[in-house]
Structure 1
Amino acid sequence: MNNLEILLYVVLGVAAIAYAYIIGVRSQKGSPIIAIALAMVFSAFTALQLTREGIPMFFANHAANLTGLQVWWDIVMCAVIAFFFIAPRARKQGMGLLPWAVFVHATVSIGLLVMCARLFWLENKANKDETIELNDA
């Protein structure tokens, strides 16, 4: 087993733990710290990939065969679906959707994670401000 295969299984294991946490904890608010930390880790991995293999390899990988193209379509569809579900909450918090749509379209998961971090921070701040107002009343 090579390093990339090991990394694949590590990521699958971490994802399984994340799903279990999300299902089990039932938190009513998102964590901006976790979202931005994930964005930073994935950004670092992306930078490594771009440094070692370059931008052309990214496109070559997704256009080499039907499997690569299917993976690309899956990523794009997941990003659009996630943006669709995030957009109403983001709009409610006053986030302009056009710049975020461009950022998400250009970076996919990285953009979504940064957008979620900002959204969670704004929601948590609004909830905290609302609690303070209720306590003052």
Structure 2
Amino acid sequence: MKADDVDSPTFVGNYAITRLKNSGLVMPNEGLASFKLALGEAAIQRDGSEVAGQIDAGRLNVDFASKRFTTGLTVSGGGGKWDVAGTGVITEKGLMYSDSRSNTLIRGFLGGSRAEQAGYIFKNTSIEGTTIIGATLWNR
């Protein structure tokens, strides 16, 4: 794979996300979809140090008619447990962006020929003194 084969990557902390150009995505214009978390990892930054986190649970819901998504994760590590939530918009090309109502910065993509996959990277700073960053992969 060459750099010309993928969209420009987006970075959040130590994580990056991109996708293949010409992925053949056909965005649905209506309907709702619930995605299941397939993979995920997180890091928790507190008190000047970083520890590995674990994503214990997650949800991702997409409304294709309004081109919006909602998501939530339960992240644990370093002796703590946090709920990380976000909302955002989806472009016609399947790019996912958190909106101004979201407590979490999210950048990602829908993928697959019928938008049956999703992936995003995230950063949450809404908990004082704690930053949670990570990456997720989802399937319908």
Task: Sort the TM-score into its range (normalised by shorter chain).
Answer: under 0.3
User: Whose radius of gyration is greater, 1 or 2?
Assistant: 1
Q: For CA contacts below 8 A with separation 6 or more, give which structure has more relative contact order.
A: 1
Instruction: State the TM-score, normalizing by the size of structure 2.
Output: 0.24
Instruction: State the TM-score, normalizing by the size of structure 1.
Output: 0.24
- Structure having the higher helix fraction is 1
